[in-house]
Chain A
Amino acid sequence: MQQIIDRRLAGKNKSIGNRERFLRRYKGQIKDAVRRAIDGRGIRDLERGEDVHIPKKDVSEPVFHHGSGGQREMVHPGNQEYIAGDKIARPKGGQGGGGSGSGQASDSGEGEDDFVFSLSKEEFMQVFFEDLALPHLIRTQLAETPEWKSHRAGFTNDGTPNNLHVVRSMRGALGRRIALGMDKRRALHALEEELEARQAEPAGTDRDAAIADLLSRIELLRGRISAIPFLDPIDLRFRSRVKVPVPTSKAVMFCVMDVSGSMDESRKELSKRFFILLYLFLTKHYEKIDIVFIRHHTQAQEVNEHDFFHATETGGTVVSSALVLMEEIIRARYPSDQWNIYGAQASDGDNWHHDSGRCRELLEQKILPLCRYFAYVQVAEPEQNLWEEYCRLAETAGPHFAMRKATAADQIYPIFRDLFKKEGAPA
C-alpha cells in the first residue's frame, strides 16, 4: 500500500552546513561588508543582519562551454514573417537570440555583477567580533576572597553521608567478604565432604562420635563465616569533591563622558558608539556586566543611561572630577579583587588647563592599578593639554592604557578593532 509521509517536522535547514561552508569561503568579502555596515549604521540597530555583495565572477564555478562564434543552427518557435533564405541583421551582443546555455543575464534587478545575500544577526555579530580579544585577559584572581567552584576528584575513604557512593561501597564490601571467608569456606567444604563419607560408612559408635564432632566443627565454621560483617566501615567510599579557585567572571565598565558645552550631539554620538561597542564586546566574555555611567562638566555625577546620553548641560570642564568619582565608586562597590574593571573615557579634549596634569596623576597612581584596561577616545581633532598629558601617560603606563582619536563615525569601528585586536591578528 502506498502511503503519504509527513516530512514537515523532520529537520529543515539541511542546507545550514553548506551555507556555513559558503560563508567560510567568502570570509574576506563578508568582513569588508560588516566593516562598511558598522560605519554606516546607527547604534540601536547594530545587532541586525546585513546584505553582503560579492562579485559574481568570484562565486562562479567554471566549466567548459562554447564561446560565441563558429557556425550554429538554431530552431525557434513563433515564425511570423520569415521565409527560407531571409537574412536577418545580427542582434547586438553577439548572442543570436539566446539559448546558448551560458545565460549571463541577471533576473534579479540588482545588477549582474553581484551575488547578494543576507547575513543573519548571529552571523553578523560573529564576524563583527572575530579576531578581537580582551586586552590583558588575566582575569582578576586574588587569594583572599576568590570564587570557588567544586570539582569531582575521585573517591575517598571518609566523607559525609550525603556523598556516600553506594555502588563503590558495596563492591568493596563484596570483595572483602569473599577474601575474608575464603579459607573458612574451603575448610567447611572439606568437613562437609568428610561428613558425607562418614555417613556412608556402616553404623557404629566410632562413626557416630566422628559425625558429632564433624557437625560441631561445621557449626563453628558456619558461625564464623556468618560473623563476617556484611558491611564494614572500611568498605565505605565517598565521592570526593575539591574546591578550585576560578577566575571571577564579573566585569564592570565605567563610561566616562564629558557633557560640557563643547560636546555637541554629534560628538556625543561618537562617544556613544564607542561605549556600545565596548559593551557588546564585554558581553561576549563575561557573564555579568555592570555599567556605571559618569558624566561630568565641572562636577561629576553618576547617572542612568538615558540621562547620560540625552540630558544636556553646559559649563566648563574639569575632567579630574569624573576620575575622582570613578575611584570612589570602585573603592565602595567594585573591589578590584572581585571585579574586572574596564574604563572608557570620551571627551573632546577640552579641559581646564590646570586640571590635566592632575588627571594624569589620578589615572597613573589610583585608577590604572585597579583597571584591566582603560581606553581614552578623543572625539575632536585639536590636541590640547589633556591629550598631551595623556600622551605622556601612555608612554609610561604600559599596555593597559590606550588612547585614540576619532572625528567621524566611520573611524570608531577601526579604532575599536585596533584597540582590541588579538595579538598577531590583522586589524
Chain B
Amino acid sequence: MTIKPLMKDLVDGPQPLPERPSEHLPGPSDWNFELVERYHTVIRDTATRFGLDTYPNQLEIITAEQMMDAYASVGMPVNYRHWSYGKEFISTEKNYKRGAMGLAYEIVINSNPCISYLMEENTMAMQALVIAHAAYGHNSFFKGNYLFRMWTDASSIIDYLVYAKDYVAKCEEKHGLETVELFLDSCHALMNQGVDRYRRPSKKTLAQELADQKERETYAQQQVNDLWRTLPRRAEKAEEQQEARRFPEEPQENLLYFVEKNAPLLEPWQREIVRIVRKIAQYFYPQRQSQVMNEGWATFWHHRILNTMYDDGYLTDGVMIEWLKSHTNVVYQPKVGDRGYSGLNPYALGFAMYSDIERICRRPTEEDRQWFPDLAGSPWLPALDHAMRNYKDESFIGQYLSPKLMRDLRLFAIVDDDKKSEIEVAAIHDESGYRRVREALSHQYDLGSREPNIQVWNVNLRGDRSLTLRHFQHNDRPLDDSAQQVLKHAARLWGFAVHLESANGKGDVTKRWTVPAPSH
C-alpha cells in the first residue's frame, strides 16, 4: 500500500481511482459480515484518496437493546452506575417501544481505536452510510479538530471510565448506595460548571491514574487542612492581612475543581468522585462546542464518499437511492413556524457550510471573492482540512458563513428584549444584514452565552465559611429559578452555607439566593 496522503497536501483534489471495479458491490437489503467487510474496504480506500486521517476503526455490531443501553450511559460503553442513567434508559426504552422515536443508526466514541456501533437492524445500504459517516467522518474530526486534540485524550478515556466505574462501585460498597448516590447527584448538578475552559488536561494512563489516586488523596487532604487551619501561625502579625485576604484571589470558573481542592469537610473518596465527574464533564466539553462542525463534517463526508463510490461504479442504483433518502431526512431543515421546528438543525447547517466552502473554492462568484478573498479559488481539500481543524462552532460560523448560504437558508435575526413589548427583527439575509446575522448566529453557538456564567467569588474564611458564587449576567439574562435547587447541591458539596449573587453588566447584584449549611 502506498503512503497515505494528507488532506492538506491534496492541492490537486483527491487521488485518482487506481482501477474501476468490474462489477457493483452487491446491494441486498440484508447485510452479512463478509459484505460489510467488502464495503468497508472500499469506503476506507475512498476516504484515503481524500486524505481523511483517522484513528484505527473498530466496528461493532449491536442490537437495538444494546443501543438503548449505550444511549442510557451517555453513549459510553462503560460508565459508573447512577439512577439518572436508569431514568434515561427507561424513557428511551418506552419511547422506542411505543414507536415515538427511532434509535440512532450508530453511536461513535471518541476513543483510540475509534469504536463505532452499528445497529443490526440496519440494511446494507444503511451500514455503508453509517460506516462512512461515523468511522471516517466523525473519526477524522475527533482526530483532527483542535478542541478534541487539546481537551480529550482518546487513548485513555475507556480506561478512565473503567477506573471510574470500579471506584464508584467500591465507594458504594464501603459507604452505602444512598450516600454515594446523593453525592453524585450533587456533582451532576454542577457538572456544566465543572470544566476548565482554558487549561489543558494532562494525559494519563489507567495505571498512572490508579497510582496517583492514593497519593492525591493524602496530599489533597493535607492541603485542605492547611487552608482551614484553626490556629493561626503568627496570629498577632497576620491578623490584618488575613482580614483583607480574598479567597480565591481571582474568581474561578471551575466550581467542581474548586470544591475538590478546597471544600473543608469532604472525605478523600468524595474528592475523588468530584474529580471523576469533573473529568468526564471535561471529556464531553468539546462535543458540546462543536456539534455543528462535527455532524456537518461527518454528513459531508458520507455524502462525498458514497457519491464517489457510485461514480466509480461500486454502488448500485438501489443502494444509492436508499441512503440518499436517509441522508435527505437527516439534513432536512424545517422553516420557522413549521410543525416540528425546533431551531436550526446542526446536520443541515454543518453540511451546508462545508458544501459551501467547497463551492467557494471551486466555483467562486464575484461576491465570494469579495467576502473570502483567501478562500475563493484555492484548493478545496486543504481549505476544508483547515476549516475542520482549527475552529469550534462559534468561530467556524463567524468565519465561514457566506451571504449565499444565508440567502439559501433565509436566515434572519430577531431581538427579544423583555423591556420592549414586541420582538424586533434585527437583520435579514440582505446586504445590510449579512454581518449582523452571521454575528448573531455565531454567538448563538457560543457556550459562554448559552450557559450561565457562574464563578466562585469568595469564601468567608474567618467567619461561617460560607461560599459565595457569582453569576455574571449576559445581556441581562436572569437565572432560572432552578438555581435554588442547584444551590442545595452546592451546599451539600461545600458543607457550609452557599450564596449566589446574580450581577448585571454594571456589576450591580440584582438577585441573591442563599442556602444554609446542610445539617451534618
> A interface vs B, CB < 8 Å?
2-8, 12-15, 17-25, 59, 61-80, 82-90, 96-99, 101-103, 107-108, 115-118
Contact = CB atoms under 8 A, between A and B. Distances in A.
B197 to A, nearest CB: 15
Interface in B183-233: 185, 188-189, 191-193
Contact of A5 (B59, B66, B91, B177): B59
B414 A74 contact: yes
Interface stretch (B14-22, B312-320, B418-426): B418-426
Interface in B46-86: 56-63, 65-66, 68-69, 72-73, 81-86
Main secondary structure of the interface of A (DSSP, over half): loop
Contact of A14 (B59, B66, B421, B428): B66
Given A4-B37, A90-B422, 16 more contacts: A4-B36, A14-B66, A19-B86, A21-B83, A22-B90, A25-B181, A71-B419, A72-B475, A77-B336, A78-B410, A79-B410, A83-B430, A84-B426, A84-B432, A107-B100, A108-B95
Shortest beta-carbon contacts, A-B, top 5: A78-B335, A22-B86, A70-B477, A18-B86, A62-B485
Contacts of A59: 87
Contact of A65 (B59, B84, B452): B452
A338 to B, nearest CB: 42
A73 B443 contact: yes
Contacts of A77: 333, 335-336, 344, 409-411
Question: Which one of A59, A75, A79 has the highest number of Cβ atoms from chain B below 10 Å of its Cβ?
Answer: A75
B304 interface: no
B417 interface: yes
B384 to A, nearest CB: 23
A14 B425 contact: no
Interface string B83-114: 11111011100110000100000000000000
B115 to A, nearest CB: 9
Contacts of B344: 75-77
A70 B411 contact: no
B95 A90 contact: no
B37 A73 contact: no
Nearest to B116: A4
Contacts of A87: 422-425
Given A68-B418, A88-B414, A90-B421, A12 B66 contact: yes
A24 B177 CA distance: 10
Nearest to A8: B63
A25 B180 CA distance: 13
A115 B81 CA distance: 20
Contact of A2 (B56, B440, B452, B471): B56
Interface residues of B, number: 99
B66 A69 contact: no
B399 interface: no
Contacts of A86: 424-425
Interface of B: 33, 36-37, 40, 44, 56-63, 65-66, 68-69, 72-73, 81-87, 89-91, 94-95, 100, 117, 120, 177, 181, 185, 188-189, 191-193, 333-338, 341-344, 409-419, 421-430, 432-433, 437, 440-441, 443-444, 450-452, 454, 471, 473-483, 485-486, 489
Contacts of B66: 7-8, 12, 14
A61 B185 contact: yes
A14 B94 contact: no
B418 A63 contact: no
A84 B177 contact: no
Given A4-B61, A90-B421, A102 B412 contact: no
A13 B69 contact: yes
A3 B485 CA distance: 48
28 contacts: A4-B36, A7-B117, A8-B63, A8-B120, A12-B66, A15-B69, A15-B89, A63-B191, A64-B454, A65-B480, A66-B479, A72-B415, A72-B475, A73-B413, A76-B343, A76-B344, A77-B344, A78-B336, A78-B337, A82-B428, A88-B414, A88-B422, A89-B422, A90-B421, A98-B341, A98-B343, A99-B342, A115-B91
A66 B450 CA distance: 8
Nearest to A108: B100
A65 B425 contact: no
Given A67-B480, A84-B428, A115-B91, A73 B188 contact: no
Contact of B483 (A61, A64, A76): A64
Contacts of B422: 87-90
Contact of A21 (B82, B409, B410): B82
Contacts of B441: 75
Contacts of B191: 63
B342 A98 contact: yes
A107 B337 CA distance: 17
A67 B433 CA distance: 28
A64 B425 contact: no
A79 B69 contact: no
B94 A118 contact: yes
Given A22-B86, A72-B416, A4 B60 contact: yes
Given A72-B477, A75-B444, A21 B86 contact: yes
A74 B86 contact: no
A64 B452 contact: yes
Contacts of A102: 480
